[in-house]
Amino acid sequence: MFEYSSILLLLIALPLIGIIFLLFIPNTESNLQKSVGLSVSLLTFFISILLWLKFDMSTSKYQFVEKFFSVPYSNMHIYIGVDGISLFFVLLTTFLIPICLLASWDSVKIHIREYSIAFLFMESALICVFTVLDLLFFYIFFEAILIPMFLVIGVWGSRERKIRAAYQFFVYTLVGSVLMLLGILWIYFQVGSTDIQVLTTVEFSLNAQLILWLAFFASLAVKIPMVPAHIWLPEAHSEAPTAGSVILAGVLLKMGGYGFLRFSIPMFPDASIYFTPLVYTMSVIAVIYTSLTTLRQVDMKRIIAYSSVAHMGFVTIGMFTLNIQGIEGSMLLMLSHGIVSSALFLCVGVVYDRHKTRIIKYYSGLTVKMPIFSIIFLFFIMANIGFPGTSSFVSEFLVLIGAFKSNIFVTVLAATGVIWGAGYSVWLYNRVAFGNIRTTHIEAFQDVNRREFMIFLPCIILVLLMGIYPEIFLNVMHVSITNLIEQTQ
Amino acid sequence: MDFLSFFENDFKIIIPELYLFGSILLLLSYGAIFSTSQVLKFPIIQINVGWLSFFTLTITFFLLLQNPLSSMVVLNNLLIIDPFTTFMKAFVLLSSIFCILMSMNYLEFKKVNTFEYFILLLLATLGMLCLISSYDLMSLYMSIELMSLSFYILAAYKRNSEFSGEAGLKYFILGAFSSGLLLFGSSMIYGFTGLTNFEDLAKVLTGINGIASSTSYSGILIGIIFVAVALLFKIAAAPFHMWSPDVYEGAPTPVTAFFSTVPKIAIFALFLRIFFYTFYDFIFFWQQIFIFCAILSMVIGSLGALYQKRLKRFMAYSGITNVGYMLIGLASGTIDSMLGLLIYLIIYIVMTIGFFSFILGTRNQNSNLNTYISDLTNLGKVNPALAFSVTLIMFSMVGLPPLAGFFGKLYLFLAAIQSELYSVAIIGVMSSVVAAFYYIRIIKVMFFGTSNVYISYIKMDRLNSIILSTCVFFLIFFFAYPHPFLMSSHKISLLLCL
């Protein structure tokens, strides 16, 4: 019947075909432009569900492997494929992009077609990042995402500081990445190939592993972000348009985590074990420091941005525990954080679209006039804290179990992070939604309309599903992660 | 008798150069006769001569490719023709063709009505063709002089601008100085070996590393150093780069476009010939020179461009940085590094030609070109397609995948790491990041810049837009089909080095 093996190529090609369609639609038909972008991304999402359905969960081999292309006159053949680790990142990407496009339906007024083109290009590049089985091409697509993201932040961003934010985003990421490039080139020189399946069989000497791990760490630490290199994130988030923040928090940060899981840990196991204390320290500092920093913020998006950094601190703790609970917890946390943070940014976007300000001082008592919005906002704030029943609880719990096996002190400190998280999240919600309604600055309120409700509904369903029955998601990852851990022993 | 034997094969092989030379003379006399003809009321035949020179170069290009004999040393071992020279000459001719096309619009608007501009361009091209083929220190010097003299006059071409005269004078003084250094180096080499032919020198100097006593060849070493320094002057590598910002700024813009692209091809071809063939055994000496110059060029180029407010000076510093990257390729001294050098050279020339065609094509309503970077504000709103093309060129210069600039840098840094020049590679990537900062600034000015005055542009003329779109197309799709360039570069690298 239908040959399933070329799904991945179809997934990569569909957004590009959508871009070609979009190029022919004139600017007078802006609704048609938006609809075409949305339909193409929805179609991509539904096809990617097929990927999940047809996934074989009993093996850790790469599935749906397809030859992407071959570089001529050299023995380089680039393959794309998914395994348990990358499957959910692909799904997260294809899930979030239609939500992004739907969220910016009314708020993007200039250059609508170029906006959709940027997002579709990002979708294609992101799917390539997560599926390509070659180190050099991972790097190429990793960097290629910088171009549309830079343009999205700069052109459609909200305030004057957007230029500085775009610069910071760009230059920070570039500095780390070029060091990773040198590491990749050295690996290519030594091994003769950059294919992942070849590289996981190569053993590097300890010194080489240490230096290469640090080179890769430079890039991935900026991307995740870890504490000293995290400054670009609050700037970029608060200046980007809503959908830009959604995709940034939802998927782009996960590229760093994916890089660790796919490259750093399997290829440099000794160095990973060597540097685990460093990663633990940085992550714990990230969790505590950023949670406390949010207490002083006045911009809602910045609070959520800093909380993203805190959650990603949890993720890195989980990843470097190098046992199955920890890594599964960190993967589930990445997925959950992708949905929860994105939904929180969407909530802020709802308010921003109406009143054009994100400063908490202007809002109070929103429950009176925007009840549905308040319920949705409450749900996601609770999810952010790690309330049992939501996905964050399951994932943070797994991470803490994994960390407990590895290092008790780190677990204690990270667990306090849950308390800080509860602190700032509930305080944010209190200030914005509860209390007396403040009409000194805002006169008219309007609750969520149908489009906005529709973007929240799938997020709510997913968060609840992941929280109540995470096994559906964890099932897929078991074998691949077990394989990963075997490699480090 | 010797001369008669030239008619057998030699003149057949150098038909492209002979044809170019003959047509230069013909065009010169054509121009001189017709532009001073009182009967026709002193017509302005400049664009006419321009298109004729375009056709000349095109025919030269085809003559070059249709050479019946492939590899030969001609004219008493003075010139060599082989696939390497054919490739580089073809590249030079193509770039010159683009530069001629770019300048047509400029000359029309600026009412520069003397036809000698194109004659000088053709003479410079002829010099470069001979330079690439040169196989002897004598022909090297003669070709460099032919090329440089044409450049000195071209730099000072705008007669009513002191800026241009100053540029020409500076270029002349420094160029003459470096030619003097070149002569001194050549004479040292001749004095200590008695030979001037590259092949003879290669044979004499073979295996010189194995000789125990180190005093026997220090004279040759001094000669090599002087020759290297002189050539580094010509391509504006640091620490010999001081002339380039001023000269690039003062010269008329199409001349700047010509300066920053085409001589670099010729002189890098010469570098490859001299250092990878003739003096390869001295690699442990000249490698250090080139490493030093590469690091200094990259650092000075990237830091220097941060403060520039004028477009042409900015391009000068960016040229210095790119020369630094290419010197890494030269310093590494392997076949892969030569491959990387050639690929990067091709991509660099395409990027620069694209950017200059953009500069030459955008005129504001007073028919003036943009001098300052801040003149480019609002281009994103006025002409978004143009701004997007320039954005792609800038991102390619930064070295972002999947554009072509990344692949150039990839091959070069791979070569550097293969030769274990780790510090050079790290400095290279760091300067690449610093460079990113100011390339992004141009994009920022175009898209996010604000200005009090609304700047509007005259529609870009057809030639410049064709050149710009060709270059951007190349940069975008190099990723998908790099085969012809990789193949040919690899083939000629193997040819030269083995």
In chain B, how many domains are there? 1
Residue A336 in contact with residue A463, Cβ under 8 Å? yes
Does the beta-carbon distance from A181 to B400 stay under 8 Å? Answer: no
Asked if the structure places residue B472 within a domain, the reply is yes
pLDDT value, residue B12: 79
The residues in B 407-466 lying below 8 A from A, measured between CB atoms, are: 410, 413-414, 417-418, 422, 425-426, 429-430, 432-433, 436-437, 440, 444, 447-448
CB contact, 8 Å: B483 with chain A? yes
Give the integer Cα–Cα distance in Å for A308 and A286: 10
Give the integer Cα–Cα distance in Å for B337 and B410: 11
DSSP A440: S
Collapsing DSSP to helix, strand or coil, B498 comes out as coil
Q: Please give the residue range of the domain that contains residue B448.
A: 279-498
Q: Half-sphere exposure (CA, 13 Å, Cβ side) for B37?
A: 12
Task: For residue B414, give the nearest of A162, A178, A188 by CB distance.
Answer: A188
The distance of B358 to chain A (nearest Cα, Å) reads: 21
Does the beta-carbon distance from A155 to B444 stay under 8 Å? Answer: no
Residue A262 in contact with residue A196, Cβ under 8 Å? yes
Which DSSP helix (H) or strand (E) runs through A155?
helix A146-156
pLDDT value, residue B482: 83
In the block, tokens 């004219």 appear at B75
pLDDT < 70 regions, chain A: 1-4, 71-75, 159-160
In the block, tokens 């490698």 appear at B287
Which DSSP helix (H) or strand (E) runs through A64?
strand A63-71
Does the beta-carbon distance from A170 to B432 stay under 8 Å? Answer: no
Give the integer Cα–Cα distance in Å for A173 and B136: 49
pLDDT value, residue A2: 58
CB contact, 8 Å: A146 with chain B? yes
Structure confidence by residue, pLDDT tens digits, A392-449: 999 999 999 999 988 899 999 988 888 988 999 999 999 888 888 877 777 778 888 8
CB contact, 8 Å: B382 with chain A? no
Asked if the structure places residue B455 within a domain, the reply is yes
CB contact, 8 Å: B268 with chain A? no
CB contact, 8 Å: A155 with chain B? yes
The distance of B457 to chain A (nearest Cα, Å) reads: 21
- State whether the Cα torsion A93-A95-A100-A102 is positive or negative: positive
pLDDT value, residue B75: 74
Asked if the structure places residue B118 within a domain, the reply is no
Contact list in B for residue A241 (CB cut-off 8 A) is none
Cα dist. B469→B40, B254, B373, B389 in Å? 39, 18, 21, 8
Does the beta-carbon distance from B402 to A171 stay under 8 Å? Answer: no
Tokens (6 digits) for A123 = 């979708």
Contact list in A for residue B402 (CB cut-off 8 A) is 140-141, 144
Name the residue among B210, B250, B241, B213 with its Cα closest to residue B320: B241
CB contact, 8 Å: B402 with chain A? yes
pLDDT value, residue A7: 83
pLDDT value, residue A159: 67
Structure confidence by residue, pLDDT tens digits, A94-148: 999 999 999 988 888 888 888 999 999 999 999 999 998 888 889 989 888 888 8
Q: Residue A439 CB: number of other CB atoms within 10 A?
A: 12
The distance of A189 to chain B (nearest Cα, Å) reads: 6
CB contact, 8 Å: B98 with chain A? no
pLDDT value, residue B69: 66
Least CA distance to B443: which residue of chain A?
A151
Asked if the structure places residue B74 within a domain, the reply is no
Residue A214 in contact with residue A265, Cβ under 8 Å? no
Asked if the structure places residue B98 within a domain, the reply is no
Contact list in A for residue B490 (CB cut-off 8 A) is 73
The distance of B385 to chain A (nearest Cα, Å) reads: 11
Rounded to the nearest 10°, the torsion over CA A430, A436, A442, A444 is: 110
Does the beta-carbon distance from A167 to B440 stay under 8 Å? Answer: yes
Buried b (16+ CB within 10 A) or exposed e, B122-131: bbbbbbbbbb
Name the residue among B380, B382, B385, B391 with its Cα closest to residue B364: B382
| CB-count burial class (<10 Å; 0-12, 13-18, 19+) for B317 | buried
DSSP B239: T
Name the residue among A147, A453, A257 with its Cα closest to residue B400: A147
Asked if the structure places residue B218 within a domain, the reply is no
The distance of A174 to chain B (nearest Cα, Å) reads: 7
> What is A69-101 written as a DSSP string?
EEETTTTEEEEEEE-HHHHHHHHHHHHHHHHHH
Does the beta-carbon distance from B490 to A73 stay under 8 Å? Answer: yes
Asked if the structure places residue B286 within a domain, the reply is yes
In the block, tokens 């599935």 appear at A63
Give the integer Cα–Cα distance in Å for A310 and A336: 14
pLDDT value, residue A72: 64
Does the beta-carbon distance from A72 to B486 stay under 8 Å? Answer: yes
DSSP B76: T
Least CA distance to B406: which residue of chain A?
A140
Name the residue among B493, B401, B376, B428 with its Cα closest to residue B88: B493
Residue A390 in contact with residue A364, Cβ under 8 Å? no
Structure confidence by residue, pLDDT tens digits, B148-174: 999 999 998 888 888 888 999 999 999
- State whether the Cα torsion B56-B62-B64-B68 is positive or negative: negative
How remote is the C-alpha of B450 from its chain's centroid?
35
User: pLDDT of chain B along its 498 residues, tens only?
Assistant: 567 776 777 777 888 999 999 999 999 999 988 888 878 777 788 888 999 999 999 999 999 988 876 777 777 778 888 888 999 999 999 999 999 999 888 888 887 778 889 999 999 999 999 999 999 999 999 999 999 999 999 998 888 888 888 999 999 999 999 999 999 999 999 998 888 888 888 888 877 766 655 556 778 888 999 999 999 999 998 888 989 999 998 888 899 999 899 999 999 999 999 998 888 888 888 888 899 999 999 999 999 888 888 888 889 999 999 999 999 988 988 888 999 999 999 999 999 999 999 988 887 766 677 778 877 887 877 888 888 899 999 999 988 888 889 989 988 998 898 888 888 999 999 998 888 888 888 888 888 777 777 777 888 888 999 999 999 999 998 888 888 888 888 888 888 876
Collapsing DSSP to helix, strand or coil, B389 comes out as helix
Asked if the structure places residue B490 within a domain, the reply is yes
Give the integer Cα–Cα distance in Å for A48 and A44: 6
Hey, which bits of B368-418 come out as E strands?
none
